[in-house]
Chains A and B, each alone.
Chain A
Amino acid sequence: MESEQIDLLINEVIKRLETEGLISSQMQKNSARSTESNPGDKSKDPNQSFNINSGMGLQTISIDLDDPTKPVHRGKPLVDNSQDPEALLALMSTTTARIGVGRAGVRPKTESLLLFQSDFAVSQDALYKEVSQDLLKRMGLFTVNTLITEGKTEYLLRPDLGRSLSQEAKSILESKCIKNPNIQICVGDGLSASAIEANLEKIFPVLQSGCQIAGLSMGTSFFIQNCRVGVMNDIGDIIEPEVLILLIGERPGLGRADSMSAYMAYRPQKGHSDADREVICNIFDNGGTNPLEAGAYAIRLAQDMIKNKGSGVKMKMA
C-alpha cells in the first residue's frame, strides 16, 4: 500500500465530509470505541474498595469491588520485580495483546485468569445480536436474505446457505438495484452485528465521497442478513459491478466484537473463490485500522482492481 497516496486521499475525503457537515472534525480525532462492545470503559475512576471487618467473635465481611474490566485495571502491569517498570508500561501500551501479566509459578496470576474468563463470558453475545433496524434506516439500506431461514444457529452450522441469496432477494435486487456500476457496496452482518454497528457510519461516507472524488459510479447499497463472504458471487451475477465491496462482521474475539472486514472482488461471479478476492481486515477504532483510513484504502484498491481488470492472488501471480 502506498501510504502517501492513501493519506492524501483520506485528507481529501475528510475535508470534504467536514465541509458537507457529514462528519465533525471531532470524529476523525476521537476514535473512541463503542462502550457497548467494550465492557467497562465508562469511567476512569479506579476507586476500588475492599473491606474486611473481622472482629474477634462475630465476623462480618463486605466485598465491594470495582469493575475489573475498566482500562485502568486492564492496563495494570503485574510482573513482580520488573527490571524496568517504566519500560514495561511502555511495552504494554504498544499492543492490545495481554502482555505484562506476570506469573504465578508457571500459571497466570489470579487477576488475569479471572479477567480472561470474564471476557470470554461476554464474547458469545455478539453472535446472536442483530444489526439494529435504526442504523439500517439511517444509512438508507434495505435488507435482503440468504437461504438461511432458521436464524443464527442455522447460520453457524450452514455456511453453504449463507453464501447464496434467497430467490426473493434475487428478484428484489433485480428490480431495485442499478446495474453495472463501477462500485457496488454491500453490508453484511457476518459473524458480528456489533462490528457493523461500530464502523458502518464511519466508513460509509468515506466510501461514498471517495467514489465521487475518484469519478466512480456507485450502485444501490443494501444490507444482507445472515451472509457469508461467498455471497459476493450471487450479487455479482445480478448486479454486475466492476468492483464489489462487502463490509462484513468478523468473528468476535475475546471480549471484543467490533472488528469488521472489507472483502473486495473485481467482477465477482459464479465460480469465484477466495483466490479471486482481497480483504482489508481488522477495521476498528483504537488499535485496529480505523474505518476512515480503511475506507480510503478500499477506494484505492478498487481503482487498482479496475486498472488491472482483476483481483486476488491470481492477479498477483499473473
Chain B
Amino acid sequence: MLLRTILFGKTYEFPDIRILMGKANEEKSGDRLAGLSADTLAERAAAKIVLANLPLWVLRDNPAAPYEVDEVTRVIQDSVNESIFSEIKGWTVGELREFLLNDQVGCDQILRISDGLTSEMISAVTKIMSNMDLVYAASKIRVIRHCENTIGMEGTLSSRLQPNHPTDSPEGIRASIYEGLSYGVGDSVIGINPADDSYGSVSRLLDMTYEIIKNHAIPTQNCVLAHVTTQMRCLQSGSPVGLVFQSICGSQKGNESFGISVGLLDEAYELAKKYCYPSGPNYMYFETGQGSALSANAHHGWDQLTLEARNYGLAKRYHPFQVNTVVGFIGPEYLYNTEQIHRAGLEDHFMGKLTGISMGCDVCYTNHAKTDQNSSENLAMLLTAAGCNFFMGVPMADDSMLSYQSTSFHDIAALRSIFRLKPAPEFEQWMESYGILKNGQLTNKAGDPTIFLGRQK
C-alpha cells in the first residue's frame, strides 16, 4: 500500500490507513492523547489530500478493528447492502463528498447510498468536509421516526426534557418536569439520568413519569437512563417504559467496559418491542460521544471520529427513535476547547444523519474545558441550521447531578422561534390544548410550572 503526496515540494507518506485517518482529522486533544494527530498543519493537509483520493473499497477492507475479533465491525460489515456498495465502491472519498454536496442530490438519494457505506467511509468523508459542508449536507437529510409521537419532520425541532436530581427525589424531578413542559420541552422524551441505578429507584421514576404523562395526556415517551440491564428488569416486571436507553461505544472492548454486548442489546431490543407501552415502532435511545472508546483504552489505535462513526453503525441495527452525541461531556482530554467541541458536534450530527439514524445532540461542556455557555449557544444555533432532530432541555442549562452545562428550556423555545420551527406535531397540539402555545407563540402561561398542579385531563 502506497499512500503518498507531495505538498509544496515536500513529500508526505503515510504507512497505513489507520495513520492516514488519524492525521487527516481536525485537531482534537483526544487524538493527540492517542498519538494520532498530524505533527504540522501541512501534514494534516497532505493527509486530507491523500484521503480524498482513496477509493471507498479500501476503507471497507480496513475496518478499525478486525472482523474476527470485534462484533461491532461484524454488525457494520454484515449490514452493508452489497448491491449498493458495488455501485459506489470505486468512488473516491472526494467524490463521495461532492455527491453529498451536489445540489441535485436530495435526501432519498443520500439515504439510499447510506446503506452501502461502512462507518469508516463515513468517518473518512467527514474529515475532508469543512464546517459549513457538514451543516449543508446534514440539512438535506431528514430521518423521521415514530414512537408515541413523531420526531425529525422538516420544520420541527424536538427536545428531551432532562429533569435530573442529585438524589433522584421524585418530587424534585416532578418539579423540573413541570417547569420544562411549561416551555414546550419534552417532545422527544422525558429522560432522567438516575443517580442511583438500583431497580427500586429506577422503577419508581418510571412510574412517576408515566403517571404525569397519563394524567396530562402528553403525547410523549418516558425513559430512565440507567444501565440497560436495570431497564430490562423493569420491563420484565411490568414497569411502564417508553424508550430503552444505553450508552454505547465503537468497539466490542469498549462496550465490554460499559457492561454491554451486541447480544445484550439484541435482547433489550426484543424486550422493548414486546413490552414498551408506546405504539412504536422505534423504541431505542442511545448516547455516544467522541473519546469514550479511548477512555476505556478500547480504540484499537484508531482516531476518535472513526470510533464515533462506528457507534452510529451499531445504533442503526436497532432502528432507534433517537440517538445523540453528548459532545463535550467527558472533558478536555478529548475535546479541549470551543473550536474542538463545535467541530465534533457538527461532525457527529452529520455522521449520524448520513448513517440514517434520527440524530440529536447534547450540546454541552464541563467546567474543566476551555469554553463557555455563549459558545454552547452558538453550536446549538449551528446545529439547528443543520436540521438537528433534538436537543436537551435542562433547567437554565445547569445539570446539578451530572455536573455539566447543556442547553436550557429557554434555548429550546428560542431556537424554535429564531428558526421558525415547531415541536413534534402531536406535542404541538397538546401544547395548544393546554394553552401553553397559541398560533405558534408561547402564551402567558408558558414558563409557569404551577399550571400542572391539581389539573388533570
Closest to A82 in B: B448
Judge if B109 is at the interface, Cβ distance under 8 Å. no
> Looking at the complex, which one of B295, B400, B453 makes contact with A96 (CB distance below 8 Å)?
B400
Q: Which of B421-457 contact A (CB under 8 A)?
A: 442, 444-451, 453
Decide yes or no whether A52 CB sits under 8 A from chain B: no
Q: Give the A interface residue count (CB, 8 A).
A: 61
- CB distance B166 to A314 under 8 Å? no
CB within 8 Å for A96 and B396 given contacts A191-B368, A250-B403, A251-B368 = no
- Contact pattern, A 80-122, Cβ under 8 Å of B = 1, otherwise 0: 1111110110011011111111110011100010001101100
Stretch at the interface among B11-19, B75-83, B169-177, B302-310: B169-177
A-side contacts of B395, CB under 8 Å: 97-99, 101
Which residues 164-217 of B have a CB within 8 angstroms of A?
164-167, 169, 171-176, 178-179, 183, 195-196, 198, 200-201
Inter-chain CA distance A157–B334, complex, in Å, is 8
Q: Complex: how many Å from CA A85 to CA B176?
A: 16
Docked-complex contact B410 and A107, CB < 8 angstroms: yes
Interface residues of B in 78-104 (CB under 8 A from A): none
| Cα–Cα, bound, A106→B412 (Å) | 9
Q: Would you call B404 and A99 a contact (CB within 8 A)?
A: no
Is A254 within 8 A of B368, CB to CB? no
**Are A159 and B295 neighbours in the complex by a CB distance under 8 Å?**
yes
Contacts of A100 in B (CB 8 A): 179, 449
The answer to whether B405 touches A254 (Cβ under 8 A) is: yes
Within the complex, the shortest CB–CB distance from B393 to chain A, in Å, comes to 12
Q: Determine the residue in chain A with the shortest Cβ distance to B445.
A: A83
CB distance A97 to B398 under 8 Å? yes
> Taking the complex as formed, is B7 at the interface, i.e. its CB lies under 8 A from any CB of chain A?
no
B188 CB, nearest partner CB in chain A, Å: 19
Q: Does B396 contact A117, Cβ atoms closer than 8 Å?
A: no
Q: Is A282 an interface residue when CB atoms closer than 8 A count as contact?
A: yes
The residues of A that contact B414 with a CB separation of less than 8 Å are 106-107
Decide: B367 and A251 in contact? CB cutoff 8 A. Answer: yes
A92, A94, A159, A316: the one contacting B169 at CB < 8 Å is A94
Say whether A156 contacts B333, CB under 8 Å.
Answer: yes
- Decide: A95 near B165, CB < 8 A? Known: A157-B332, A253-B398, A313-B259: yes
Q: Are A112 and B396 in contact (CB under 8 A)?
A: yes
B333–A287 CB distance below 8 A: no
Q: With CB as the reference atom, state the residue of chain B lying closest to A1.
A: B198
Closest to B253 in A: A273
Interface contact B400-A254, CB-CB below 8 Å: yes
Query: Are B404's CB and A282's CB within 8 A?
Result: no
Judging by beta carbons under 8 Å apart, are B264 and A159 in contact? no
Given contacts A84-B450, A96-B400, contact A127 B367 (CB under 8 A): yes
**Interchain CB contact under 8 A, B448 and A316:** no
Q: CA–CA, A103 to B409, complex, Å?
A: 10
Decide yes or no whether A274 CB sits under 8 A from chain B: yes
Which residues of chain A are within 8 angstroms of B264 by Cβ–Cβ distance?
317
Considering the chains assembled together, what is the distance between the CA atoms of A274 and B297 in angstroms?
Answer: 12
CB distance from B54 to the nearest CB of A (A): 30
Shortest Cβ distance from A297 into B: residue: B196
Contacts of B172 in A (CB 8 A): 94-97
Interface 1/0s, chain B 225-251, versus A by CB < 8 A? Answer: 001011000000000000000000000
Instruction: Answer yes or no: A312 CB below 8 A from chain B CBs.
Output: yes
**A180 surroundings in chain B (CB, below 8 A):** none
Contact assessment for B29 and A157 in the assembled complex, using a CB-CB cutoff below 8 Å: yes
Contact in complex: B259, A275 (CB < 8 Å): yes
In this assembly, does B356 line the interface, its C-beta being within 8 Å of a C-beta of chain A? no
> A83-B451, A252-B367 in contact; A289/B400 too (CB < 8 A)?
no
Q: Roughly how many angstroms separate A85 CA and B453 CA in the complex, as a whole number?
A: 12
Do the beta carbons of B176 and A116 come within 8 Å of each other? Answer: no
With both beta carbons as reference points, the residue of chain B lying nearest to A281 in the complex is identified as: B195
Nearest opposing residue in chain A for B446, CB measure: A103
Query: What residues on B are CB-neighbors of A102 within 8 Å?
Result: 447
B331-A251 in contact (CB<8A): yes
Q: Does A168 contact B (CB under 8 A)?
A: no
In the complex, whether A123 has a CB less than 8 A from a CB of chain B is yes
Once the chains are docked, how many angstroms separate the CA of A242 from the CA of B373?
44
Residue A238 interfacial (CB < 8 Å)? no
Is B385 close to A, CB under 8 A?
A: no
- Shortest beta-carbon distance from A309 to chain B in Å: 18
Contact residues, B292-314 vs A (CB, 8 A): 295-297
Inter-chain contact B367/A79, CB cutoff 8 Å: no
**What is the bound-complex CA distance between A126 and B366, given in angstroms?**
13
Cα–Cα distance between A107 and B407 once the two chains are bound (Å): 12
Q: How far is the CA of A82 from the CA of B165 in the complex (A)?
A: 24
Set of chain B residues within 8 Å of A176, measured between Cβ atoms: none
Can you name 5 A-B residue pairings with CB atoms under 8 Å?
Answer: A79-B447, A88-B449, A100-B449, A108-B410, A253-B400
Give the top 9 A-B pairs by smallest Cβ distance, nearest first. A313-B259, A95-B172, A253-B403, A98-B396, A273-B257, A275-B259, A91-B175, A106-B413, A84-B450
Mark B residues whose CB is within 8 Å of A: 29, 33, 163-167, 169, 171-176, 178-179, 183, 195-196, 198, 200-201, 227, 229-230, 256-259, 264, 295-297, 331-333, 336, 366-368, 372-373, 394-405, 408, 410, 413-414, 416-417, 442, 444-451, 453
